[in-house]
Every structure is written in C-alpha cells, then in structure tokens.
Amino acid sequence: MAVRPKLIMVTAVVAVLLFAAPLPTSGQPAARVPSVGSLSTGPSTGTSSLSGDLAALGYVEEKTIILQLRYSEGRVERLPAVAAELVQLNVDVIVAWGVEPLEAVRKATRRIPIVMVAGSNPVATGLAASLAKPGGNITGVTVGQAELAGKRLQLLREALPQLSRVAVLRDPNADPAVVPETESAARVARPGR
C-alpha cells in the first residue's frame, strides 16, 4: 500500500503543531506562530495545497502556522545551502523528504527537530541509530523497511492463517534488502521450506 506524500506531510506538520502550539481559542493572548520548514529535492510547485488541508484542521497559514517550503529543484548539490537557509529562518521543525535532504538538514543543525520522511533505510545510511530510537534531533516516518519484513509476514499470517505463499512487489528504487529480508523471515517462520 502506497502512502501519499501529502498525507505524510500533513500528519508530520500536525504532530509537530501538537507540541509547538495549541489551536488558538478566543480570549487567549496571541502566541508565537509556529514555523515549519520543508526540504525536498523536487521542483517547486509554486503553490501549496497543504494550506487547505491544514485549514480543515483549524490552522490558517501566516496566522496560526507559517510554512517555509524549500526545494533543490532536482539539484542535490543545492541541498546544503537550502538546509542552511531553513536553519537561518529559525523554523521550529524541519521536514526532510528523503535521505539526501535528511543528511543535509542533519549536517546543518543539531538544535532544530527534524522529521524525516524517507523511502530508504536511514539506519543503514547512518542517519539514525535505530528505527525505535533514531537519536539526536531526528524522528519521523520511513516506508518499505527491510527490518519490518518479519512483522508484515506475521500480520499476514494472523489475518490469513492458511497463508502458504506470498508475493512481494516493490519499487526498484526502494530498499534493496526488502526481498531478501522477506525471504529470510518466511524461512524462519516456516522451517524446511
């Protein structure tokens, strides 16, 4: 099942906002508006549909949240400069979209919390100590991890006790260890096969 990047971003932003500032209520003095930075290797879209999604949750861009969306326009070599720009803006949190943006942001700051949205393995690349405890100022979401192969098979077996065969479809750009880890987990679960 593919997870929509927009849904991940909204989830990450809302999670950060729960810690950064409560939703405004009438009669309260105006609080500092939380600022969320975002760094991606993709092209700038010019506009953000994220504002509408956050508005549905009660957030209003520039009033209850400030979004600082940055893109390297497909040029990985630009990531360090763009990450440094977000640090200079003193955002409250930075969402890093992928391993390269995550590495650039991690090198740019040890102070600002970083939410990773990575398609590959941040542990194998040395960007996180472990999935359970990434360490430092990094937390977040990663998909397609080989380490989860055994858990996926376990959940399938619980849902379908008579399951005897499983096919694995994967993105060729995803973590290459997914298939061998799945095969290994299947052999452990069903010795002799």
Q: Where are the domains of the chain?
A: 5-143, 147-189
Task: Using alpha carbons only, give the angle 146, 36, 175 rounded to the nearest 5 degrees.
Answer: 15
**Taking residues 173-192, what's their average pLDDT?**
71
Alpha carbons 24 and 65: distance in angstroms, whole number: 11
| Rounded alpha-carbon distances, angstroms, from residue 186 to 46, 156, 158, 178 | 46, 11, 14, 12
| Rounded alpha-carbon distances, angstroms, from residue 129 to 46, 112, 137, 139, 168 | 35, 18, 11, 11, 27
Model confidence over 78-122: pLDDT tens digits?
999 999 999 999 999 999 988 899 999 999 999 999 988 866 667
CATH of 5-143, one of 3.40.50.10860, 1.10.10.10, 3.40.50.2300, 3.30.70.270: 3.40.50.2300
pLDDT tier for residue 3 given thresholds of 50, 70 and 90: very low
pTM of the model: 0.67
Q: Residue 99: what pLDDT? A: 84
Q: Residue 112: what pLDDT? A: 95
